[in-house]
Amino acid sequence: MAEKITGAEALMLSLKAEGVTTIFGYPGGAIMPTYDALYDYTRGEKKCFEHVLVRHEQAATHAAEGFARVSGKVGVTLVTSGPGVTNTLTGVADAMMDSTPIVVIAGQVGTAVLGSDAFQEMDLVSVSQPITKWTYQIRRAEDVAWAVSRAFYIASTGRPGPVVLDFTKNAQTELVEYKPAKVDFIRSYVPSPEPQDEAVRAAADLINNAKKPMALVGQGVELGNAQEELKAFLEKADIPAGRTMLGLSALPSNHKLNMGMLGMHGSYSVNIKEQEADVLIAIGMRFSDRVTGDLKRYAKQAKVIHLDIDPSEIDKNVKTAVAVIGDCKETLPAITKLISKADHTEWKDSFQPLRQKEIDNVITPATKPVSGPLLMGEVAHAVAKATGGESILVTDVGQNQLMSVRYFKYHKPRSIATSGGMGTMGYGLPAAMGATFGAPDRTVCCFMGDGGLQMMIQEFGTIMEYQIPVKMILLNNSYLGNVRQWQDMFFSHRRSFTPMCNPDFGKVAEAYGIPHRIVSERADLQDAIQEMLNAPGAFFLEAVIKPDANVEPMTAPGRAVDEMQLNVEC
Amino acid sequence: MIIYSENFAGILNQITAVFTRRQVNIESLNVCASSTPGVHKYTITCNCSEEMVQTLCKQIEKKIDVLQANYFTDEEIFIMEACLLKVSTEGLLQNPAASKAVRHRGARIVEVNPTFSIIEKKGLTDDIISLFSELNALGIVRQFVRSGRIAVTRDCIEHLDRYLESRTQKNN
B14 and A CB contact within 8 Å: yes
Amino acid at A340: S
Q: Determine which of A250-259, A273-282, A298-307, B5-14 has the lowest per-residue pLDDT on average.
A: B5-14
| Structural contact between residues A549 and A259, judged by C-beta atoms closer than 8 angstroms | no
Q: According to the model, what pLDDT value does residue A150 have?
A: 98
Amino acid at A550: N
Helix (H, G, I), strand (E, B) or coil at A523: helix
Nearest Cβ partner for A188 among B6, B21, B55: B6
Residue A2 confidence (pLDDT) above 80: no
Nearest Cβ partner for A125 among B10, B65, B167: B10
A73-102: pLDDT as tens digits? 999 999 999 999 999 999 999 999 999 999
Q: Which DSSP category does A342 fall into?
A: -
Residue A569 confidence (pLDDT) above 90: no
Nearest Cβ partner for B17 among A129, A135, A310: A129
Give CATH superfamily name and number for B74-172. Answer: ACT-like. Chain A, domain 2 (3.30.70.1150)
Q: Percent helix, strand and coil across chain A, each rounded to 5?
A: 45, 20, 40
Nearest Cβ partner for B171 among A134, A187, A316: A187
Residue A410 confidence (pLDDT) above 70: yes
Give CATH 3.30.70.1150 domain extents, chain B: 74-172
Q: According to the model, what pLDDT value does residue A352 have?
A: 98
- Pick the residue from chain A with its C-alpha nearest to B166: A187
Q: Which residues are CB-neighbours of A366 under 8 A, at least 6 positions away? A: A375, A376, A377, A378, A381, A403, A407, A552
Helices and strands in chain B: count of H runs, count of E runs: 6, 9
CA-based nearest residue to A429, from A540, A545, A543, A508: A540
B162 and A CB contact within 8 Å: no
- Type and span of the H or E element at A486: helix A481-490
Q: What percent of chain B has pLDDT over 90?
A: 95
How far apart are the C-alpha atoms of A335 and A316, rounded to whole Å? 23
Q: What percent of chain A has pLDDT over 70?
A: 100
How far apart are the C-alpha atoms of A48 and A383, rounded to whole Å? 36
A189 and B CB contact within 8 Å: yes
A500-530: pLDDT as tens digits? 999 999 999 999 999 999 999 999 999 999 9
| Structural contact between residues A61 and A34, judged by C-beta atoms closer than 8 angstroms | no
How far apart are the C-alpha atoms of A265 and A434, rounded to whole Å? 27
Q: Do A129 and B58 touch (CB under 8 A)?
A: no
Q: Do B17 and A154 touch (CB under 8 A)?
A: no
Is A370 buried (19+), middle (13-18) or exposed (0-12) by CB count in 10 A? exposed
Q: Do B64 and A126 touch (CB under 8 A)?
A: no
A315 and B CB contact within 8 Å: yes
Nearest Cβ partner for B164 among A125, A126, A187: A187
Residue A29 confidence (pLDDT) above 70: yes
Cβ under 8 Å to B: A residues 356-395: none
B88 and A CB contact within 8 Å: no
Q: According to the model, what pLDDT value does residue A570 have?
A: 77
Across A311-332, average pLDDT? 97
User: Best of B34, B55, B64 to disrupt the A interface by mutation (most A CBs within 10 Å)?
Assistant: B64
User: ipTM score of the complex?
Assistant: 0.91
Q: What residues of chain A lie within 8 A of the CB of B171, using their CB?
A: 185, 187
Q: Do A188 and B168 touch (CB under 8 A)?
A: no
Question: What secondary structure, in 3-state letters, does A290-332 show?
Answer: HHHECHHHCCCCCEEEEEECCHHHCCCCCCCCEEEECCHHHHH
Q: What residues of chain B lie within 8 A of the CB of A156, using their CB?
A: none
How far apart are the C-alpha atoms of B35 and A517, rounded to whole Å? 70
**How near does any CA of chain A get to the CA of B35, in Å?**
17
Q: What residues of chain B lie within 8 A of the CB of A189, using their CB?
A: 64-65
Q: Do A187 and B167 touch (CB under 8 A)?
A: yes
For each of the domains in chain A, give its residue range(s) and CATH number, in order of start. 4-177 (3.40.50.970), 197-349 (3.40.50.1220), 373-545 (3.40.50.970)
Nearest Cβ partner for A129 among B14, B54, B168: B14
| Structural contact between residues A427 and A418, judged by C-beta atoms closer than 8 angstroms | yes
Across A158-172, average pLDDT? 98
Is B169 buried (19+), middle (13-18) or exposed (0-12) by CB count in 10 A? exposed
Q: Which residues are CB-neighbours of A212 under 8 A, at least 6 positions away? A: A273, A276, A277, A278, A279, A344, A347
Q: What percent of chain A has pLDDT over 90?
A: 99
Cβ under 8 Å to A: B residues 20-39: 21
Nearest Cβ partner for A311 among B13, B58, B168: B58
How far apart are the C-alpha atoms of B80 and A156, rounded to whole Å? 42
Across A449-478, average pLDDT? 98
Q: Do B58 and A188 touch (CB under 8 A)?
A: no
Q: What residues of chain A lie within 8 A of the CB of B6, using their CB?
A: 187-188
How far apart are the C-alpha atoms of B125 and B122, rounded to whole Å? 9
B161 and A CB contact within 8 Å: no
Across A487-507, average pLDDT? 98
| Structural contact between residues A144 and A176, judged by C-beta atoms closer than 8 angstroms | yes
Of 3.10.129.10, 3.30.70.260, 3.20.20.210, 3.40.50.970, the CATH number of B2-71 is 3.30.70.260
How far apart are the C-alpha atoms of A402 and A539, rounded to whole Å? 22
- Pick the residue from chain A with its C-alpha nearest to B57: A312
List, run by run, the mean pLDDT of 10-residue segments along chain B (172 residues): 95 96 95 95 95 97 97 93 97 94 95 97 94 97 96 93 93 86
Give CATH 3.30.70.260 domain extents, chain B: 2-71
C-alpha distance across the termini of chain A, in Å: 76
A100-128: pLDDT as tens digits? 999 999 999 999 999 999 999 999 999 99
> Is residue A1 very low, low, confident or very high in pLDDT (cuts 50, 70, 90)?
low
CA-based nearest residue to A423, from A97, A44, A65, A203: A97
Q: Do B59 and A312 touch (CB under 8 A)?
A: yes
